[in-house]
């Protein structure tokens, strides 16, 4: 079934256009690239969409949202990036999920590797598949804070980025399935289905899960009697002007349909390919882009196409990669523009391999400099994530308790934590994650508005099959403040646990304060040390950011154009100047919709 699906897509694509020159080439089919390529083709422009992975549309591991853990671990799409959290490898080695290659085809995860094991680092899986990481994530749909959009307007003077004007892009892509029809804040005819969790569990009064929920509502200043109403009617994707300042319980939104099936940008691509209108979209799967091609005959170099290597599992992040494997190399051309949507790790790598990036770094690897652009691969950011986890005496019957709130020590009046609690385990990524235990209970925390953006994506070599050197440099800037906010949120979560009562109590906390809840030693100092070493992340952004004309590290202008060259844009999460809210997947799709509008308008005005 899956093979037939891939062949059908390939056949449709080849019928759409067989030439080697297109109006547009889009590199990468994730939340940035897939919507953009589809929109360009629907506007009548011949468009080639290139994806290094395959298509898993008919694979239930990916289609059913509830299987996201299996999807994230699946070698059919998984690319393993082994990243650093710090400059000091000895500090990173204290991260409890540090991974080592044992040399016998297995991994060791932990703090005491066997003799001879090769240090790999911290696993950061990405998805090489049509639809990108929207195909293996948990589907959490969240919006950027207003100031995350306004910063672009403030930096560039482009007022089209002002937050109230960005809402139309959500409405354009959204097929809302949880709000009453006609809600002016939402869209109902887009390609992205969005649902919310079933909150009916909260109706079971005086259960351990509801008692925890009651305590949480108390902390938020909300009435416990209003819980079911809050969970069922409080819109987590609200357009309210005070939403960024409102601490509340919510019902988690997911990019899935009412059947629990994942909704992704890849669906939009397949719909575009199969549409009777025969839009001029070509999809090229299992194809690795090795560099952008430039015409340098004029003062400003112009992107004219890309070099590609065809074949499956050609990138060394792919666990199925066989050393020495290469594929046939060829070139394809774009008469209008090349758009890179490879994601926060691969987009800066592709630009650098193409000669666009910091001059000294390019010359180090013998790469001809097309444009010295110092900011490529710099100032990467991410949401810090942490959790408090324990084991209860008896299972706690509950669904997810989701909230967005402000800790008392937040530096502004805006909320700074997105949290969800329930009988699950999530503590970051490592081969084979998670570590499930009977009667587990956890609150996972995502920090909104991290203060540090000191991460980098730099080349290891000039080999396009090699992975880049990725270092997040956690907590390098204003680290004490960020760590303190996470600890404050953890303390709040712990207090809600104490309200569970019998038969859940006593709870054995596993981390950050091991031992019986309320009796084990647990100071803020202990928790800060634990958080600094064990925080994790998986929402990388900003490695090729939009910025001001006066900023030497700005990579893009407000129209996504790469500075200093022509015919080349970047449309993906790497373009955000700051991390957008708590989960960047939907903001990236909104960004892609805006880019579509901008690029089509430029084409019509040319």
Alpha-carbon dihedral sign for residues 368, 377, 546, 191: positive
CA distance 124 to 198: 30
Q: Where are the alpha helices (DSSP H) in 365-503?
A: 479-497
Q: Which two three-digit tokens encode residue 90?
A: 């000895």
329 annotated as belonging to a binding site for a ligand: no
Rounded (10°) angle between helices 163-173 and 146-156: 120
Question: Which has the closest alpha carbon to 578: 36, 150, 263, 185?
Answer: 150
504 annotated as belonging to a binding site for a ligand: no
Backbone φ and ψ for 268, nearest 5 degrees, come out as -65, -40
CA distance 88 to 552: 28
DSSP-derived secondary structure letter, 31: T
The residue ranges of DSSP E strands in 275-373, in sequence order, are 281-284, 287-295, 302-310, 329-340, 356-357, 371-372
Overall size of the chain counted in residues: 606
CA distance 354 to 349: 9
Rg (CA), the chain: 24
CA distance 215 to 432: 34
Residue reference for tokens 């015919």: 567
DSSP-derived secondary structure letter, 204: S
DSSP-derived secondary structure letter, 423: S
Question: Under a CB-based contact definition with an 8 Å cutoff, are residues 446 and 457 in contact?
Answer: no
CA distance 453 to 541: 9
The residue ranges of DSSP E strands in 200-299, in sequence order, are 248-250, 253-254, 281-284, 287-295
Q: What angle do CA 429, 433, 434 make, to 5 degrees?
A: 110
List CB contacts of 167: < 8 A, sequence separation 6 or more.
185, 239
- Judged on CB neighbours under 10 Å (0-12, 13-18, 19+), 328 is exposed
139 annotated as belonging to a binding site for a ligand: yes
137 annotated as belonging to a binding site for a ligand: yes
289 annotated as belonging to a binding site for a ligand: yes
518 annotated as belonging to a binding site for a ligand: no
DSSP-derived secondary structure letter, 75: T
3-state helix, strand, coil in the chain (%, to 5): 30, 25, 45
CA distance 278 to 9: 13
Question: Which has the closest alpha carbon to 591: 283, 160, 129?
Answer: 160
Question: Under a CB-based contact definition with an 8 Å cutoff, are residues 588 and 571 in contact?
Answer: no
CA distance 578 to 600: 26
Specify binding-site residues. Answer: 129, 137-140, 289
Specify binding-site residues for FAD. Answer: 129, 137-140, 289
């Amino acid at each position: 079934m899956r093979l037939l699906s891939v062949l059908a897509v390939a056949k449709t694509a080849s019928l759409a256009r067989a030439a080697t020159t297109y109006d547009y080439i889009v590199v990468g089919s994730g939340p940035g690239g897939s919507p953009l390529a589809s929109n360009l083709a629907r506007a009548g422009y011949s468009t080639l969409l290139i994806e290094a992975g395959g298509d898993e549309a008919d694979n239930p591991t990916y289609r059913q949202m509830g299987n996201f853990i299996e999807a994230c671990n699946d070698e059919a799409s998984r690319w393993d990036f082994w990243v650093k959290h710090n400059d000091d490898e000895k500090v990173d080695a204290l991260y409890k999920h540090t991974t080592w290659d044992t040399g016998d085809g297995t991994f060791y995860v932990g703090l005491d590797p066997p003799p001879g094991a090769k240090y790999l680092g911290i696993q950061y899986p990405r998805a090489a598949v049509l639809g990108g990481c929207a195909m293996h994530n948990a589907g959490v749909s969240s919006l950027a804070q207003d100031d995350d959009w306004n910063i672009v307007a403030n930096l560039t003077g482009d007022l089209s980025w002002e937050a109230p004007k960005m809402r139309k892009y959500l409405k354009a892509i959204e097929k809302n399935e949880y709000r009453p029809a006609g809600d002016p804040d939402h869209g109902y005819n887009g390609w992205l289905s969005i649902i919310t969790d079933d909150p009916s569990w909260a109706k079971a009064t005086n259960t351990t899960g509801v008692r925890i929920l009651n305590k949480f509502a108390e902390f938020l200043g909300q009435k416990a009697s209003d819980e079911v109403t809050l969970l069922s009617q409080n819109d987590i994707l609200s357009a309210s002007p005070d939403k960024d300042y409102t601490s509340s319980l919510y019902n988690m939104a997911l990019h899935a349909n009412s059947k629990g099936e994942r909704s992704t940008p890849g669906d939009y691509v397949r719909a575009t390919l199969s549409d009777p209108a025969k839009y001029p979209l070509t999809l090229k799967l299992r194809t690795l882009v090795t560099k952008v091609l430039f015409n340098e005959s004029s003062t400003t170099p112009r992107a004219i196409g890309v070099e590609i290597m065809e074949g499956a599992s050609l990138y060394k992040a792919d666990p199925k990669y066989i050393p020495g494997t290469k594929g046939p190399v060829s070139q394809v051309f774009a008469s209008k523009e090349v758009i890179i949507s490879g994601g926060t790790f691969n987009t800066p790598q592709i630009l650098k391999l193409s000669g666009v990036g910091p001059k000294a770094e390019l010359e180090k690897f013998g790469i001809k400099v097309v444009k010295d652009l110092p900011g490529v691969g710099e100032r990467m950011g991410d949401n810090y994530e942490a959790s408090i986890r324990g084991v209860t005496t008896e299972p706690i019957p509950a669904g997810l308790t989701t909230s967005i709130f402000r800790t008392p020590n937040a530096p502004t009046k805006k909320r700074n934590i997105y949290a969800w609690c329930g009988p699950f385990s999530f503590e970051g990524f490592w081969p084979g994650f998670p570590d499930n235990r009977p009667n587990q209970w956890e609150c996972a925390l995502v920090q909104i508005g991290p203060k540090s953006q000191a991460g980098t994506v730099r080349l290891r070599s000039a080999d396009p099959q090699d992975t880049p050197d990725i270092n997040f440099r956690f907590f390098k800037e204003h680290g004490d403040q960020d760590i303190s906010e996470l600890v404050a949120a953890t303390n709040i979560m712990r207090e809600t646990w104490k309200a569970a009562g019998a038969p859940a109590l006593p709870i054995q906390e596993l981390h950050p304060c091991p031992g019986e809840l309320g009796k084990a030693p647990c100071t803020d100092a202990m928790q800060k040390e634990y958080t600094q070493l064990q925080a994790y992340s998986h929402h990388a952004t900003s490695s090729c950011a939009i910025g001001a004309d006066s900023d030497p590290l700005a990579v893009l202008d407000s129209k996504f154009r790469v500075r200093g060259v022509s015919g080349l844009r970047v449309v993906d999460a790497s373009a955000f100047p700051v991390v957008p809210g708590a989960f960047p997947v939907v903001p990236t799709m909104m960004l892609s919709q805006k880019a579509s509008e901008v690029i089509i308008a430029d084409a019509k005005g040319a």
